[in-house]
Structure 1
């Protein structure tokens, strides 16, 4: 008989249960859509030893490539409720991973390194524009001073005659 939850799901749920802070096991179990006693049983040392060995072999959600994430989103498109949770358990994921992946695919058109480079280029362009504006102002001021100097000389030359 196939277990209801994959060992990867149990491992991730256990991590979530152990790092729950002030929250109760009951609230975390409800969030995971798991029975309270099942979640409590996962915290026992005998279950912990069994799960820890297998979790190291399983792939974490952050280890999924973009292609694998897209395939997972394709397979789960249209699923909801228990069918989605069952698929997630089989693959060692939570539904919120799929939601965050979908958001990343919808909003992120560039890789983070490209975004950093783009930001650096924008900053450099802004700095160059400020420098150009400052230099144009200095140049127009110098031109105005030259014109005034010529007019002043012309005025004194007229008086000297």
Structure 2
């Protein structure tokens, strides 16, 4: 099994990232490296904080982790650096702005969701309480039925007398 240097791995994985966006299968055919190895390298670079989308698709179809990584990496950049970053990764600054706004609005919507969650919890507790009450009543009815059958078996019915 061949051993590859970290620089070579990075060079190959960069071909999977924007703006190249090559597929793993195409890159595997081109380099002769197995697809499994390429997927592992891709996963390792994503874990290190590189912006490597899970699928080689357009930036709008990236997963949330890749979008968040792009937003975080560009947060402290000035306009020129950010534009350079966007060109290197096949993005538009407007996309990063939209992603940042989406993440921020998700955080703002959390307070509204808390009220809904509280109402749902209250409703769930009421339903569980009602279910518990009905289960107890059903168990009581089953016990009474069993006792009446046993009493009839032991003493017989009143019609026999």
Same fold judged by TM-score > 0.5? no
Where on the TM-score scale, by shorter chain, does this alignment land: which range? 0.3 to 0.5
Please identify the structure whose Cα radius of gyration is greater.
Answer: 1
Q: TM-score, normalised by structure 1?
A: 0.34
Q: Which has the higher contact order (CA 8 A, sep 6+)?
A: 1
